[in-house]
Amino acid sequence: MARKARRPQAEPPSSRTAGVTSGLAPGMQAINTYLAVANVLASMQFLERAFGFTRGVVLSDADGQPRYAEMRHGGSVVMLIRRGDIATATLGTSSLYTYVDDVDRQAAVAREAGAGVSDAEDKPWGDRVAVVTDPDGYRWVLASFRKPAPFT
């Protein structure tokens, strides 16, 4: 009996090394959930206990309280921010954090398609971002990773 040839499996996106022009931050997926929560630490603990998430990057404020956290489950990432935190890409509201090769070009395409689009800007954490609001009111953060930087 002849054996069926197996197709080589494609390398999963999460294991690829982000190139300089990819726009993708290391360890992130192309689209990530970006949740604004009342208490980042409480949400982290809940995700760990309820669903088996593990902690990735956790950034604290001057008082030592988490203000940003990346929670990981398999190859997926859920980013947690403080609701209402004006230092975040969406000023503390939930969105889909979407890595693209060129924020300015993709923002122009979204604007031409009829979306509301903020001006692109470089953020202190190393991403260039623009916020797009789609026709249903959902926010999409378009981001390109520029360089690692401390969150301020």
Is residue 36 assigned to a domain?
A: yes
Is residue 30 assigned to a domain?
A: yes
pLDDT in tens, 83-103: 998 888 888 888 888 889 999
- Name the H helices within 2-131: 40-51, 103-112
Is residue 12 assigned to a domain?
A: no
Is residue 81 assigned to a domain?
A: yes
Is residue 112 assigned to a domain?
A: yes
User: Residue-wise over 79-88: b if at least 16 C-beta within 10 A, else e?
Assistant: bbbbbebebb
Residue written as token pair 């470089």: 122
pLDDT in tens, 33-72: 899 999 999 999 999 998 899 999 999 999 999 999 999 9
* Residue 124: domain span: 25-145
Show the tokens assigned to 6. 């197996």
Is residue 152 assigned to a domain?
A: no
CATH label of the domain that carries residue 51 = 3.10.180.10
Q: Which of 117, 114, 112 is nearest to 142 (CA)?
A: 117
Is residue 15 assigned to a domain?
A: no
Collect contacts of 83-86 with beta carbons under 8 A, ≥24 apart.
Answer: 83/36, 83/37, 83/38, 84/36, 85/36
Is residue 16 assigned to a domain?
A: no
Domain count, the chain: 1
Q: Is 41 exposed, middle or buried (0-12, 13-18, 19+ CB in 10 A)?
A: middle
